[in-house]
Structure 1
Amino acid sequence: MVAAFLTILLGVVAREVHWDIVGLDAYAGYAIACALFLALPGTLKRGEHIRVTLLLDRLSPRLRAGVEWVCLFLGFGMALMLAWYASRMVWLSWTTHDISPAADASPLWIPQLGMALGCVGFALSFAHALVLHARGGNFIAVGAEAARTE
């Protein structure tokens, strides 16, 4: 996020002094996308992803445990698929020398790498959550804040 802020700030200053730096908008977008995907594992750990606690709180403890197992497995499977396809996209961009269509004409595998790393970390976080859930622990933080409705 700091890189996105600095890139946007540089663009504002450059416009004020009539200095044209091509591709700054693209680099700000790359930085924001990278920050978003790299934040996925930590957001999962802190319990800040959307969870349907309204349904979970009304279930019996045994049924709730079963539903949580199913949800963790489904989440892990989807995160694994996302990580696979994001990594594959980076590989294809690297092997085909794909470049950005924007004015910066950067190799696309560079900004895509942050996305792939975030997706792999997300899948690893789900795997860690499954292991801790199997041991009786709780990987995903749940507190009063998670139950708050807005």
Structure 2
Amino acid sequence: MRKILDGLFMGSAWLAALSMIIVLIMVLISMVGRLLNFYAPGTDAYAGYAMAASGFLALAHTLKRGEHIRVTLIVGKLTGAGRKVMELWALLVGSALSALIALYSWRLVMQSHQFHDISTGNDATPLWLPQMFMAIGATVLVIALIDEWVLEWQNRRSHHSEETRHE
């Protein structure tokens, strides 16, 4: 199971990286178009879609690497059972909030598909396509947070600290 989860998180990170490459390509096409006096319709919209996809698809991998910004004002001062309870609580709340984001993201995808919602730009992209990447990224984040909760419960979670991350 560990191998499958790690593969899911890494696959999501690779898709995020691919999305960043798509942003670069769209920006380059737009720049070259301006230099050579041609217009490539939709490049701005596609760059925006790819940027949003990249952000959401990278969330789980970033969490698993301990790179999310955390406010440890309280948790950092706790030790032992108190710290464990706070970590479990924070991961539970994070899981619940992320699950709501994922749920409503998937609802948005389904509604956009049902109503044939398209972008207002001249590219007329069906909006459920780019929205789907947000929903996928949010869902993978929920899985990552639940995984972190289970690892914390089993005392197998690695706590990333500022000192170990930057060495």
Asked if 1:44 is matched to 2:63, the reply is yes
Aligned-partner residue type, residue 12 of structure 1: M
Query: 100-109 or 1-10, which moves further after superposition?
Result: 100-109
The question of whether the paired residues in 2 share the 8 Å contact of 1:48 and 1:146 is answered with no
Query: Where do 1:89-128 residues align within 5 Å?
Result: 89-128=108-147
Aligned-partner residue type, residue 147 of structure 2: H
- Listed one character per residue, the Cα deviations across residues 39-98 of structure 1 (whole Å, up to 9, x for unaligned) are 000011011112122322212322111111110100000010011000110011011100
- The equivalent residue for 1:19 is 38
- The equivalent residue for 1:4 is 23
Structure 1: how far apart are the matches of 2:157 and 2:144?
12
Structure 1: how far apart are the matches of 2:137 and 2:59?
6
- Listed one character per residue, the Cα deviations across residues 87-126 of structure 1 (whole Å, up to 9, x for unaligned) are 1100110111000012211100111111110000000101
The question of whether the paired residues in 2 share the 8 Å contact of 1:53 and 1:147 is answered with no
Q: Indicate the SS of the match to 2:119.
A: coil
- The equivalent residue for 2:149 is 130
Number of residue pairs the alignment of both structures matches: 147
Structure 2: how far apart are the matches of 1:89 and 1:145?
41
Structure 1: how far apart are the matches of 2:161 and 2:72?
11
The question of whether the paired residues in 1 share the 8 Å contact of 2:27 and 2:43 is answered with yes
The question of whether the paired residues in 2 share the 8 Å contact of 1:47 and 1:146 is answered with no
CA RMSD, aligned part only?
1.7
Aligned-partner residue type, residue 75 of structure 1: G
TM normalised by structure 2 equals: 0.83
Structure 2: how far apart are the matches of 1:57 and 1:119?
27
Asked if 1:58 is matched to 2:77, the reply is yes
The question of whether the paired residues in 2 share the 8 Å contact of 1:14 and 1:21 is answered with yes
Which consecutive unaligned segments of at least 5 residues does structure 1 have?
Answer: none
Query: Where do 1:63-102 residues align within 5 Å?
Result: 63-102=82-121
Asked if 1:143 is matched to 2:161, the reply is yes
The question of whether the paired residues in 2 share the 8 Å contact of 1:40 and 1:118 is answered with yes
Q: Which has the higher contact order (CA 8 A, sep 6+)?
A: 1
Aligned-partner residue type, residue 135 of structure 1: Q
